[in-house]
Amino acid sequence: MSHPDNCIFCKIAAGTIPSRKVYEDEDIFVFHDIAPWAPVHFLMIPKAHIPSMAQVGAEHEALLGRMMTLAPKLALEQGCRPYPEGGFRIVTNTGAEGGQEVHHLHIHVMGGPRPWLRG
């Protein structure tokens, strides 16, 4: 599952397609969604090409755990107000009926003052 030539999120993680970067480490890349639903809306992706949550296994437990524990920290840094008055929403669309359009696993993190554009 390494970097297919035609995957837009692999290209974003590699820096060959520009994005507004929020965070990066060896395994994880985070950038602002190009069409935000909410005042704060960023996407968290593994740098490795995993198509969706349908393909994850035991070998991904540490990576997914790190992404989920990083999300609240980045949400606050990006302007979400603290829990419980503030908070954020985490969404991972999976497959056609799950509403997934880009087939490189990504976690949407949305938040900020309502009303939101969508959701």
Q: Give the footprint of ligand AMP on this chain (CB under 6 A).
A: 8, 19, 31, 33-35, 93, 99-102
- Look-up of token digits 């809306």: 41
Nearest to 12 by CA among 23, 1, 96: 23
Q: Residues 29, 40, 43, 49: which binds Zn ion (CB under 5 A)?
A: 49
Catalytic site residue 103?
A: no
118, HSE (Cβ side, Cα atoms, 13 Å): 4
Instruction: Please state, in angstroms and as integers, the Cα–Cα distance from residue 118 to each residue in 8, 10, 69, 102, 110, following that order.
Output: 23, 26, 25, 18, 10
Shortest Å distance, C-beta 84 to ligand AMP: 26
| Residue 7 binding Zn ion, by CB under 5 A | yes
Distance in Å, CB of 59 to ligand AMP, minimum:
23
Q: Which residues bind Zn ion (CB under 5 A)?
A: 7, 9-10, 49, 104
